[in-house]
Amino acid sequence: MIVANWKMHFNLEKAVSTAHDIKAKLCDSKVNIVVCPPFLYLTKLKESFESCKIKLGAQNLYFEDEGAYTGEVSAMMLKSVGCSYVIVGHSERRNLFNESDFMINKKLKSALAHSLLPILCIGETLEQRQMGKTFNHLKDQLAKNLQDINGTVIIAYEPIWAIGSGNVATLDQIFEVHSFIKDFIKTKVLYGGSVNPQNAYDIGSLDNVDGFLVGGASLETQKFEMIANKFEEAKGVV
C-alpha cells in the first residue's frame, strides 16, 4: 500500500491535474494506492478517481461529529465525501499544532466509529534516537494512542529526523522498529520519511514493510509512480 501525503500543497487546478496523471499511471496498480490531498480537494478528486481503484484519504480530522468547532472537519464529513482513510497524529500535527496523545486517541476512535481506516503516525526525534530512547518513546505513543481501541489501525513509522530531510532510516533501523511495532499490534506497518524512487525497492524488500507513506516525492507523479512500481517489484506482486 502506497499513501501520498500531499500536505499543504497545490491549488485546485494543480491538484486535479496531478490526480489525473496519477490515475493515468496507477489506476490498475496491483498495489493499493491512497491519495491524501488537502480537505478542500477531496470532493473534486473523488470524481477524478471514479472507476478506478485509487482511494482517498484525509490528512487529519477532528474527533467530534458536528458542532461549534470553527475550522474543523469531522470523520462523519470525510465519510460523506467518499474518504476511505485518514492520517492521524502526523508529527507535523503533533509538533506544529500541539496534538496530544489524548486527542489522537479520540481521533482514532472517531475515525473507526465512521468506518474510516486510520493511519496512525508514530516516530522518534533524532535526540531520542541518539539517547537510546527510541523504543520507549514508540511504546509510549502506541500505548497512549491505541488505548481502548477496537478495530483496525494501520501504523506508519515515520522517524521525525527522516521526514523531508533526505536522511532515510537505514534498513536495519526500519526492520527493527517494524518488528517492534508488529509485536505490539498485529497490523500493517508503513514506513515514511524521505522515501524516493532510489530507496523504494530496498525498503520494500523488507518483509515487515507493508507500504510507504510518501510526502515530498508524492507531489511529482513520475516519482510517485516509480515508488509504487518499485514497491510492487520488491513484493513480487507483479
- The residues assigned a catalytic role are 90, 158
Q: 67 or 224, CB closer to ligand PGA?
A: 224
Q: Which one among 112, 216, 223, 227 touches ligand PGA, defined by CB under 6 A?
A: 216
- For residue 151, state whether it binds ligand PGA (rule: CB under 6 A): no
Helix, strand, coil tally for the chain in percent (to 5):
45, 15, 40
Q: Which amino acid is at 231?
A: F
Q: Which one among 2, 190, 203, 214 touches ligand PGA, defined by CB under 6 A?
A: 214
Q: 63 or 212, CB closer to ligand PGA?
A: 212
Q: Which amino acid is at 102?
A: F
Interaction pattern, residues 173-212, with ligand PGA; x per rule: CB under 6 A: -------------------xxxx-----------------
Contact in structure between 149 and 118 (CB atoms under 8 Å): no
26-83-194-31 Cα dihedral, nearest 10 degrees: -40
C-alpha cell at 235: 513484493
Closest residue to ligand PGA, judged by C-beta, is: 215
Beta bridge partners of 212: 2, 191
Q: What are phi and psi of 29, to 5 degrees?
A: -60, 145
**DSSP calls for 40-88:** GGHHHHHHHTTTSS-EEEES--BSSSSSS-TT--BHHHHHHTT--EEEE
184-188-189-194 Cα dihedral, nearest 10 degrees: -170
- For residue 213, state whether it binds ligand PGA (rule: CB under 6 A): yes
Closest separation in Å from C-beta 217 to ligand PGA: 6
Contact in structure between 110 and 104 (CB atoms under 8 Å): no
- For residue 35, state whether it binds ligand PGA (rule: CB under 6 A): no
Q: 69 or 97, CB closer to ligand PGA?
A: 97
Closest separation in Å from C-beta 157 to ligand PGA: 11
Cα gap 200→195, rounded to integer Å: 6
Q: 75 or 213, CB closer to ligand PGA?
A: 213
Closest separation in Å from C-beta 90 to ligand PGA: 6
C-alpha cell at 46: 473523488
**How far is residue 107 CA from its own chain's centroid?**
15
Interaction pattern, residues 152-171, with ligand PGA; x per rule: CB under 6 A: ------x----xx-------
Closest separation in Å from C-beta 164 to ligand PGA: 4
Number of residues lying near ligand PGA (CB under 6 A):
13
Residues in touch with ligand PGA (CB under 6 A): 5, 158, 163-164, 192-195, 213-217
